Structure 1
Amino acid sequence: MKTPDHFKLGRIAACCLLTLASAGIGNAQTAQETKEPEATAAPTAAEPTQKDIVMDAVATPPAATPPRTSGTLVPTPPRTQPATTTNANATATPAARRYAAAAHNAATAGTLAELALDLMRQQSSTTGNAQVNAVVSPLSLVSALGMVYTGTAGASASELATLLGTASAGERVYTARLPVLLDELTKPGATSAPFVMANRVWLDGTVAKAVPPSYASMVSDRFNADASIVSFAQSAAARKTINGWVAQKTANRIPELMPDGSITSSTKLVVTNAIHFKSKWEKPFDPALTAPKPFKVSPNAAAKPVPTMVDERQVRLGTIDNITVMELPFAGDQFSLMIGVPPAGHTLDAFEKDLEGLDIASWSEHLKPTTCKLALPRFSIEPASKPLKASLQALGVKTVFGPDADFEPMLGKVGKGVVLDNVYQSATIIIDEQGGEAAAATGATAVSKSFTPPAPSCAVDRPFIFAIVHRATGAPLFVGKIADPTQH
């Protein structure tokens, strides 16, 4: 049964899409001098056209591939001789294994949060305005980029590895934990809250046969991705099909991830990830108590009244480096909303620039149950598909967008003539009296902190940064900022 849009469950959704196109073939955004390689034969009528070709390839053992100096986002296929570290882990004490798992979780959560902050900072820099509400899904983006990264080599792989944190988080930590995290979030019965995450690779019929079994097996096994064969020559129909899939996976919260012009006849491959989360609060707010409360959108501005949910309740609260942090659990206690409020007099821009991903990942460690009168503005952010190419290039991912892109691990010899055209993400969130719902979609065409006692007030009365996190791992599904709760 469809829930009414207002005063009901919060809705959170995100989707990421990446598009890959033949270099130099009617592509104004990535016009290159590289000549398009001759297309392979399209599937015959006897071949499955909507069959999951990635899943079909799982039974085929992946071909041996040389190790990359930059590391991989997902673990490589099992080696014939187990690594020494694996033997050591097998004999480790339960306490040691728990400590290692916690360290892995913290590294993964910190990397995801840092990527989200980087993207928001880049978008603020591009627009010249940090006072805009925003939400991104680092989990959605990393899943989509991870499937692309698995199919790249050379500088293309190295730059993506740097962005995805294999250098800063430690290659083995990051490559080992992300697939485990995805499995924990998506396996049947993993969460009590409705949570959906789906990955799909969309292949043009002219390149479908070029996909090596090793790549197909990897993305199927590690990202639980399926695939469909489409004709990008029929660009309008292909766009409609992909947008329809995204809408279905995000409960229609993101109806149009791919804008007009995002698919052309030169598109060869599209990678999509969709996330949808919906849950009631552990303790809902009473709508009858919601009332206008003062909110200062900037230190020098006069306070403005905004609809604010009020309740006396126990929250997990703390002050970390003068940042007031509070955590509100969703039903089932598996996910929570984390809110970080900067000190009075600090701008959202400065707060955003100073905050680090590991800060968000470690917030929960410093919080204590506290009973207070909570005042939290109701807020929402409507979905809007945003191209991330410029932001990713500013963060160092450049080669995949140019003539030196190397997608041979993904598309064989055809991969030498393919570039990453763009990356799109759309995310939406609603937080109200009953709970939260969010969705995200991403697509690509081819130090220790000081701690002080809990703050006495739970009033969120100025711009803040928020995250929806998986409590067991600390991984942020969504990270965003609210400059003005009345913006949508």
Structure 2
Amino acid sequence: MTDNANMEFSRRLALFSNNVYEKLSAQNPGQNIVFSPFAIQTCAAMVRMGAEGETATQLDQGLGLASSDAEKIADSFRKVLAGYKDSKVLRIANKIFVMKGYPLRRQFVQLQTKQFLSTAKSVNFARSDKAAATINKWVEKRTKHLIKDLVPATALNANSRLVLVNAIHFKGTWQYQFSIYKTWPDTFHLDGDHSVRVPMMVLNEWFRYADLPSLDASALELPYKDSDHSMLIVLPNSKTGLSSLEEKLRATTLSLITKKLQKTEVLVKLPKFKAEFQVELTDVFQQLGMSKMFTDQADFGKILKNQDPLKVSAIIHKAFIEVNEKGTKAAAVTDLLMIPLSLTIYPPELKRFTVDHPFKFYIINKDSTVLFAGSIQKF
């Protein structure tokens, strides 16, 4: 993929990420949120390959795809997925589970296999316990046991026809690791009135950093070793400024933030944190204009040979992230169902980046492609 194509793919994914986060944040006020916009978009794009008419149009627009041509859409995802095929830090896997006795159309299978690097497996959804166990075992294996029990047996039945699963697992080691001997309990302000004690990591190093007066915030990029990936943290200047920051970020692309980052000596204080988040995305998709896919009028005529009507019954997304002194573990799966500081003295001129109140984070690559995103508001 050319640099321009990479940038356009990343820009559109960032917009989709903002749209999804806005809905998730409204549905889960005050909660930690972690999700993979890339996993969600990829999974939905897989089923888009079998859509026609208004169903396809709504998916193209709601997902923010660059084209309405299925072949071009598939090719754009193939180029991104292929770039991670031999990655040491990121593993991406896609899988189609189809009801036994319902053969898929050859063209749909070819698109999934060649472009989305996916394969199909026949299962009997009527035996819901066994079918759920099969899907969950595959997910757990692909996410290195970080995501378990994704699909409940109650979500499957004899009327289920198709389940598309996208699994993404990230494990990055910091380029500059925090010393466990400098991690001490410190205060994290939950809001203007409440606070908790958390294990706070400390590191003095040269990082890409930016003051962002237009956002009333600052940003820091923590790079991962042997990778072009990094964690971008956007921290509001005010301890109660997350909501205001989120509002401003809706009209700000990530690339505008990353372009302002400059190598700066920074004293970083960052809490160790772990978060897990699961959500059923039907409401989010409907709010983003993708509603027909859930109705009896859904048009997925390019999927099954026998032309049986199909509709999406649920989109289950589960994500996990853990940040510590060594680095980051993260995993996500989207399942689309058819039916004190040490005594060290630091120079006063040092920039200080103290993450002691709610913040936003992203795991991105050099093109600002958003693999994971979210916010930490509570411990």
Answer whether TM exceeds 0.5 for this pair.
yes
Amino acid at match of 2:180: P
Correspondence for 1:297 among 182, 190, 200: 190
Higher RCO, 1 vs 2 (CA within 8 Å, ≥6 residues apart): 1
How far 1:330 sits from its partner (Å)?
0.8
How far 1:387 sits from its partner (Å)?
0.8
Match for residue 470 of structure 1? 365
Q: Does 2:40 match 1:147?
A: no
Q: Does 2:269 match 1:367?
A: no
Contact 1:203–1:229, Cα closer than 8 Å, also in 2: yes
Q: Give the Cα separation in 1 of the matches to 2:226 and 2:189.
A: 33
Secondary structure at the counterpart of residue 312 of structure 2: strand
Secondary structure at the counterpart of residue 115 of structure 2: helix
Contact 1:310–1:375, Cα closer than 8 Å, also in 2: yes
Say which structure is richer in strand: 2
Q: Does 2:99 match 1:198?
A: no
Secondary structure at the counterpart of residue 366 of structure 1: coil
Contact 2:15–2:253, Cα closer than 8 Å, also in 1: no
Match for residue 208 of structure 2? 316
Output aligned runs, 1:109-258, within 5 Å: 109-127=10-28, 129=29, 131-166=30-65, 177-186=76-85, 188=86, 191-193=87-89, 195-208=90-103, 211-258=104-151
Match for residue 272 of structure 1? 165
Correspondence for 2:232 among 320, 338, 344: 338
Contact 1:337–1:466, Cα closer than 8 Å, also in 2: yes
Q: Give the Cα separation in 1 of the matches to 2:126 and 2:242.
A: 45
Correspondence for 1:387 among 264, 267, 280: 280
Contact 1:316–1:369, Cα closer than 8 Å, also in 2: yes
Output aligned runs, 1:95-110, within 5 Å: 101-110=2-11
Superposed CA RMSD: 2.1
Q: Give the Cα separation in 1 of the matches to 2:236 and 2:73.
A: 30
How far 1:413 sits from its partner (Å)?
4.6
How far 1:280 sits from its partner (Å)?
1.2
Larger radius of gyration: 1
CA gap of 1:200–1:176, structure 2 versus 1, over 3 A, is: closer
1:203-248 C-alpha deviation (Å, 9 max, x unpaired): 112212xx22111111111100011111111111000000000000
How far 1:414 sits from its partner (Å)?
2.3
1:157-213 C-alpha deviation (Å, 9 max, x unpaired): 0111011113xx566897654331111112x3xx343x21110001112212xx221
How far 1:143 sits from its partner (Å)?
1.2
Contact 1:374–1:458, Cα closer than 8 Å, also in 2: yes
How far 1:293 sits from its partner (Å)?
2.4
CA gap of 1:178–1:346, structure 2 versus 1, over 3 A, is: farther
Contact 1:243–1:258, Cα closer than 8 Å, also in 2: yes
How far 1:369 sits from its partner (Å)?
0.9
Contact 2:77–2:116, Cα closer than 8 Å, also in 1: no
Q: Give the Cα separation in 2 of the matches to 1:295 and 1:227.
A: 46
Contact 1:279–1:330, Cα closer than 8 Å, also in 2: yes
Match for residue 457 of structure 1? 352
How far 1:323 sits from its partner (Å)?
2.4
Contact 1:109–1:358, Cα closer than 8 Å, also in 2: no
Q: Give the Cα separation in 2 of the matches to 1:337 and 1:293.
A: 22
1:45-92 C-alpha deviation (Å, 9 max, x unpaired): xxxxxxxxxxxxxxxxxxxxxxxxxxxxxxxxxxxxxxxxxxxxxxxx
Amino acid at match of 1:119: V
Match for residue 355 of structure 1? 249
Correspondence for 1:377 among 271, 275, 281: 271
Contact 2:97–2:123, Cα closer than 8 Å, also in 1: yes
How many residues align structurally?
365
CA gap of 1:175–1:251, structure 2 versus 1, over 3 A, is: closer
1:117-173 C-alpha deviation (Å, 9 max, x unpaired): 32222123234x1x211101011111110110011001110111011113xx56689
Amino acid at match of 1:108: F
CA gap of 1:440–1:480, structure 2 versus 1, over 3 A, is: same
1:89-118 C-alpha deviation (Å, 9 max, x unpaired): xxxxxxxxxxx9333222222222222232
Match for residue 444 of structure 1? 336
Output aligned runs, 1:4-15, within 5 Å: none
Q: Give the Cα separation in 1 of the matches to 2:195 and 2:7.
A: 37
1:274-323 C-alpha deviation (Å, 9 max, x unpaired): 0111121112111111112232222x225443211001111110123232
Contact 1:374–1:459, Cα closer than 8 Å, also in 2: yes
Q: Which runs of 5+ in 2 are unaligned?
A: 339-348
Q: Give the Cα separation in 1 of the matches to 2:267 and 2:326.
A: 17
How far 1:358 sits from its partner (Å)?
5.4
Match for residue 346 of structure 2? none
How far 1:353 sits from its partner (Å)?
2.9
Q: Give the Cα separation in 2 of the matches to 1:106 and 1:137.
A: 18
Match for residue 397 of structure 1? 290
CA gap of 1:357–1:218, structure 2 versus 1, over 3 A, is: farther
Q: Give the Cα separation in 2 of the matches to 1:480 and 1:185.
A: 22
Bigger mean CA offset, 114-123 vs 428-437 = 114-123
Q: Give the Cα separation in 2 of the matches to 1:328 and 1:357.
A: 24
Q: Which runs of 5+ in 1 are unaligned?
A: 1-99, 447-453
Q: Give the Cα separation in 1 of the matches to 2:251 and 2:370.
A: 10
1:315-335 C-alpha deviation (Å, 9 max, x unpaired): 110123232111001111421
Match for residue 342 of structure 2? none
Q: Does 2:323 match 1:424?
A: no
Of all paired residues, the percent bearing the same amino acid is 26
Contact 2:74–2:111, Cα closer than 8 Å, also in 1: no
Bigger mean CA offset, 259-268 vs 245-254 = 259-268
Contact 2:183–2:200, Cα closer than 8 Å, also in 1: yes
CA gap of 1:436–1:386, structure 2 versus 1, over 3 A, is: same
Contact 1:408–1:414, Cα closer than 8 Å, also in 2: yes
CA gap of 1:361–1:179, structure 2 versus 1, over 3 A, is: farther
